[in-house]
Amino acid sequence: MSTELAWFKSSYSDSHGGNCVEIAPCANAIRVRDSKDKSGPQLAFSRDAWAAFVEFAATQSA
């Protein structure tokens, strides 16, 4: 079994290499990293915390 995560780039990331965020869902968390530094640090959020963040962010961009 592979432990490699399936990373997805944010649709809000620009195509010029800046402001790029990727997420990877895993068993008990959502991982977040800077796509320009794939071997760099990652943040881990519970699924509930991530859902609350996404909901909050959606209300701020409306």
Residues with Cβ within 8 Å of 45's Cβ and at least 6 positions away in sequence, in order, are 29, 30, 32, 53
pLDDT in tens, 10-57: 777 766 666 788 999 998 999 999 988 889 999 999 999 999 999 998
Does the pTM surpass 0.85? The reply is no
> Mean pLDDT: which of 1-5, 30-34, 58-62 is highest?
30-34
